[in-house]
Amino acid sequence: MAGLTAAGMAATGIIPSVEAAAWDRKSKELFGPRQKGHFTLLQLTSVTDTIGNSYILQTKGGKVIVIDGGFATEQDNLRARIAAVGNHVDLWFITHPHQDHMGAFNEILKDRRGMTIDKLIYSRVPDEFLDREPVNAADARSYYKTIDSVTEGIDILDLHTTGGRFDIDGIGIMVLGVANPELTMNPYNNQSMIIRFWDDTKSVVILGDAGIECGNKCLAKYGEQLNCDYMQMAHHGQNGCSESFYKAVKFRVCLWPTPSWVWEPAPQHTHLKTRDTRRWMDEKGIQEHHASCVEKDWFLA
Ligand SMILES: [Fe+2]
């Protein structure tokens, strides 16, 4: 946690002020001096009530960072939202090569319609790995082909090491997870990047679609550096990280990039485990939730 995280938690009575003060000191050890900048965060709602991750972060100085962007079918809405903040993206993160994360981005790259993008950070999965999920391999290869062919003018960072820190306009960014090709179960989801953002008052961790193994690997390496105010629930809030992961990491607010049919699964959809995750959060004492299907285009100021 960074900045006022602990103080904010103390103010809400979630943790006692003595513990908050101790955590503020710990936070300084883990993340350095308090960041000077400030960001807003928009969690986009799917216009078609489909699954997907889509976030737009904007710094006080006007820098724009996009995380994923949803399916190709979300591109018009995403374009409009980016246009509304200047039609320029300073940094775009794509967590992993599933359509519901890179689909809109893939289409925008091919036809930017005036949008400019300075930098892309992603973590490429080896080509031979893609066949571990045959139903998604063609889409992933199409996305990589786009990156290889129509990204002129974009600085591309294919990141394969964790722990790297960026400071953009006073915003702290730390990459805690990159592709894990040794994790062959739940293959694409376990390649998700995990990214921490923090400013002078709050911190957000993006888990992407991290599966159990991906989450546990990150937890084993980074432990308390996963603690945050706002946690994006892995894999749209179900069948993502484990209960033990969520028990081990401290956070106070859940962000759910979740369509209505996953948020409240129909009785016959027993494969959707959202209710389990929601129960874990209740048992953890989380009282603040923001689901993209419930709060349209939720905005964190
Ligand atoms: Fe997803």
Number of compact structural domains in the chain: 1
Whether 104 is in a domain gets the answer yes
Q: To the nearest whole number, what is the mean pLDDT of the chain?
A: 93
Whether 97 is in a domain gets the answer yes
Q: What angle do CA 5, 40, 168 make, to 5 degrees?
A: 85
Confidence of residue 222 (pLDDT cuts 50, 70, 90): very high
Identify the burial level of 53 via C-beta atoms within 10 angstroms of its C-beta, where 0-12 means exposed, 13-18 middle and 19 or more buried. buried
Q: What percent of the chain is modeled with pLDDT above 90?
A: 86
Look at residue 130 and tell me whether its pLDDT is greater than 80. yes
pLDDT of residue 9: 53
Whether 211 is in a domain gets the answer yes
pLDDT of residue 26: 82
Range 165-193 average pLDDT? 96
pLDDT of residue 10: 52
Q: How far is the CA of 54 from the centre of ligand 1 (A)?
A: 10
Least confident piece of the model among 28-32, 57-61, 115-119, 256-260: 28-32
pLDDT of residue 14: 52
Whether 2 is in a domain gets the answer no
Q: How far is the CA of 17 from the centre of ligand 1 (A)?
A: 37
- CATH, residue 136: 3.60.15.10
Q: How far is the CA of 239 from the centre of ligand 1 (A)?
A: 11
Q: How far is the CA of 96 from the centre of ligand 1 (A)?
A: 9
Range 79-90 average pLDDT? 98
Hey, is 298 helix, strand or coil? strand
208 touches 96 (CB < 8 A) = yes
Whether 279 is in a domain gets the answer yes
Q: What percent of the chain is modeled with pLDDT above 70?
A: 93
Per-residue tokens: 214 = 């991906």
> What stretches of the chain show up as alpha helix (H) in DSSP?
5-11, 17-31, 75-84, 99-110, 134-149, 212-222, 243-248, 260-263, 274-284
Whether 14 is in a domain gets the answer no
Q: Which residues surround ligand 1, an ion (CB under 5 A)?
A: 100, 209
Domain region containing 186: 35-300
Whether 19 is in a domain gets the answer no
Identify the burial level of 242 via C-beta atoms within 10 angstroms of its C-beta, where 0-12 means exposed, 13-18 middle and 19 or more buried. middle
What are the tens digits of pLDDT across the range 271-300?
Answer: 999 999 999 999 999 999 999 999 989 999
Range 104-109 average pLDDT? 98
Q: How far is the CA of 100 from the centre of ligand 1 (A)?
A: 5
Q: How far is the CA of 52 from the centre of ligand 1 (A)?
A: 5
Whether 20 is in a domain gets the answer no
Range 204-231 average pLDDT? 97
pLDDT of residue 18: 64
Q: What is the DSSP letter of 13?
A: T
What are the tens digits of pLDDT across the range 6-45?
Answer: 555 555 545 556 666 777 788 888 888 888 999 999 999 9
Pairwise pLDDT comparison (4 vs 177), residue with the higher score:
177
Range 198-211 average pLDDT? 96
Hey, is 131 helix, strand or coil? helix
Q: How far is the CA of 298 from the centre of ligand 1 (A)?
A: 19
Q: How far apart are the first and last CA of the chain?
A: 18
Confidence of residue 151 (pLDDT cuts 50, 70, 90): confident
pLDDT of residue 21: 73
pLDDT of residue 2: 43
